[in-house]
Amino acid sequence: MSRLLAATLTVALAAVLAVGAALGVVALLEARPDQPNTPLITYERAGQGS
């Protein structure tokens, strides 16, 4: 196998692995349940009339 063919196959395999990893990360992020957006600390508002 010539070096050019080996280099081409290596680049193609690396690209396929990168795309597969990106799609896997996206699938994992979409499969995670949404976390509630509730604050840990709440402040009471004082009356503004006085």
pLDDT at res. 48: 63
Amino acid making up residue 24: G
Burial of 8 per CB tally in 10 Å (0-12, 13-18, 19+):
exposed
Alpha helices in the chain (DSSP H): 3-31
Where exactly are the structural domains of the chain?
Answer: 1-45
pLDDT at res. 47: 64
pLDDT at res. 46: 72
What averages of pLDDT result for each successive group of 10 residues across the chain (50 residues)?
94 98 93 80 72
The model's pTM: 0.58
pLDDT at res. 49: 55
C-alpha span between 16 and 13 (Å, rounded):
5
